[in-house]
Structure 1
Amino acid sequence: MSAGTAPAAGAVSPFRRFWSRFAEDKIAVVALIVVILLILLAIFAPLIAPQNPYDLSGLSLRDARRPPGYVGSGGYTHWLGTDAQGRDLFSAILYGLRVSLQIGIAAGTIALVIGTIIGIMAAYARGLAENVLMRIVDLQLSFPPILLALVLVALLGQGKAQLITALVTAQYAYFARTAYGAASAERSKDYVEAAAATPLSARRIVFRHLLPNAMPALIVVATVQIAYAIALEATLSFLGLGLPVTEPSLGMLISNGVKYMMSGRTWISVYPGIALIILIVAINLVGDHVRDILNPRLDR
């Protein structure tokens, strides 16, 4: 082997380098394991859950509001108790986790795509297009997302598609502002200015120079916004403005048990609330550590 090829043989891939730094924070590793475990539980909920909590033929009102550890009429133990409809709470949490993750990931991904396109277009185009696009983004950022989502859900009605639309509209501006900030800084550099003066296509400049430099910041924002979308959906469902009763998420499960808190049946709301908190905190911990790795100025 020649001396010139020796460094290549010992080169470390970017993924392995990233993972080695990520693994330095044990809390972030535990949080990542928790996120993966919750995603797997949501995916395989129909196989894991002892009961389909939304199959009305399998429910019995005689089992309603039973405490944790109660053996129901179905012959299995309700380890987390039952809710007001007689649903096994553990099964309901698994299915609710599934719905919450679907909405959070879908809303975060769509908002990422739309916001990135707007931010990159504004940074590349400059001039009037830049001013118009970013003034719209800045105007939206001046409104609280929860207020905007409430108005949109009230106008669009209940349903998964309507809720995702409201969350995307409330969140895309964060991605647009982030993409614009990173891309505009790169756009002003001499080598990009020189490339724009050549016959190179705009698509080549965007995908080769602007977008790659914006992606690290967008990845960090995506992790935060997915967790925020889950929390926002839970808030709307808790208020009765999110999903219909036939597709309850963790927020609606919490709402269903609030009226029974004073009577001592706290498990109906507490256990879904714990699952929601664990999910959001774990995603945020992973996102915070990814931010520290991708932004050297925040490296601790």
Structure 2
Amino acid sequence: MSASDTQSPLRLFWREFSENKFAVGSLVVVVLLAVVAFLAPLLVPQDPYNLELLSLLDARRPPGFVGSGGYVHVLGTDPQGRDLLSAIFYGLRISIIIGLAAGAIALVLGTIVGIFAAYAGGWIETVLMRVIDLQLSFPAILLALVLVALLGQGKGQLIAALVAAQYAYFARTAYGAAKAERRKDYVEAALATPLAGYKVAVRHLLPNCMPPLIVVATVQIANAISLEATLSFLGLGLPVTEPSLGMLISNGFPYMMSGRYWISVFPGIALIILIVAINVVGDQIRDQFNPRLRK
């Protein structure tokens, strides 16, 4: 027996993943951004959410400016006088938290709906999947805009809107995978035993549906971050007291033509790096779970 045969699936997965240096680099970038975001209070000189610390005398200052707080604003300040580096780090934390929370909840909800539809069959399957197909016919950003406008501003409302706009992607993926597994002999054999139906779904259908769901999850986390930034840019995301990357970009947009590029450009670069890195990792995971897509 070769050494590769004795390795765990996780080690085999990582060995193949590590062959793509660009994907490994992207994973490192994602991890570093996450660490920086969650350690932001320890790394930055200012709490950008504390309005008492802000001074309008420091507003719209260029990178390298020494503000009234006595520290250097490495990336400059925004129109409210926030240290832009501090605001970006805090904004990254919001983007990652909302992306992970919305992606995880949508994954659970969509998986339950998809597997239940495939297992139940009949009119239940027809009704559930027609609802999912109807939702998928609308752009996610349109659904998110409508739901946020109805629910109002706040993290909970924003996550709920993103989940409602994205769970259908997981449901359709879980349904397709579970439907294919439902026809196989081992599932029919399990159903012939006294084992409860939900246990068959959890023990047999769910594990075989996870690979495509993991791929969809990585893509949808990036999409959730992008949607949150878009909604915040439009003023429908979080309150102005908790600026996210999208809101920071929006705050600097009116000043682009006056030469104060840093207010929008630096948060935009941080957002692009995060989304691109997650997508690269997701593409590599997709290639490994689908042999036909391997290079």
TM over 0.5: yes
Partner secondary structure for residue 257 of structure 2 = coil
Counterpart check, 1:95 vs 2:63? no
Q: Distance in 2 between matches of 1:125 and 1:91?
A: 51
The aligned counterpart of 1:3 is none
Determine what percentage of the aligned residue pairs are the same residue.
74
Counterpart check, 1:52 vs 2:52? no
The aligned counterpart of 2:182 is 187
Out of 138, 156, 165, which is 1:143 matched to?
Answer: 138
Partner secondary structure for residue 251 of structure 1 = helix
Counterpart check, 1:172 vs 2:180? no
Q: CA deviation at 1:9?
A: 10
Map of 1:106-255 to 2, 5 A cutoff?
Answer: 106-255=101-250
Q: TM-score, normalised on structure 2? A: 0.97
Give 4+ residue runs of structure 1 displaced > 6 Å after superposition: 6-10
One-letter code aligned to 2:113: I
The aligned counterpart of 2:269 is 274
Cα offsets for 1:32-51 (capped at 9, x unmatched): 00000000011100000111
Q: TM-score, normalised on structure 1? A: 0.96
Counterpart check, 1:63 vs 2:58? yes
Q: Distance in 1 between matches of 2:13 and 2:215?
A: 14
Q: Which stretch shifts more, 210-219 or 197-206? A: 197-206
Q: CA deviation at 1:75?
A: 1.3
Counterpart check, 1:72 vs 2:67? yes
Cα offsets for 1:267-293 (capped at 9, x unmatched): 000000000000000000000000101
> Is the CA contact 2:4–2:12 (under 8 Å) kept in the aligned structure 1?
no
- Structure 1 residues 10 and 289, CA gap change in structure 2 (3 angstroms): closer
Q: Which residues of structure 2 form unaligned runs of 5+?
A: none
One-letter code aligned to 1:198: T
One-letter code aligned to 1:153: V
One-letter code aligned to 2:176: G
Q: Distance in 2 between matches of 1:63 and 1:246?
A: 17
CA RMSD, Structure 1 to Structure 2 (Å): 1.3
Q: CA deviation at 1:10?
A: 6.6
Q: Distance in 1 between matches of 2:289 and 2:138?
A: 29
Out of 278, 283, 290, which is 2:278 matched to?
Answer: 283
Q: Distance in 1 between matches of 2:279 and 2:3?
A: 36
Q: Distance in 2 between matches of 1:10 and 1:142?
A: 44
The aligned counterpart of 2:78 is 83
Q: CA deviation at 1:203?
A: 2.4
The aligned counterpart of 2:287 is 292
Q: Distance in 2 between matches of 1:271 and 1:120?
A: 43
One-letter code aligned to 1:249: S
Q: Distance in 2 between matches of 1:241 and 1:10?
A: 52
Partner secondary structure for residue 153 of structure 2 = coil
The aligned counterpart of 1:34 is 29
Q: CA deviation at 1:201?
A: 1.2
Cα offsets for 1:127-153 (capped at 9, x unmatched): 111111111101100111111111111
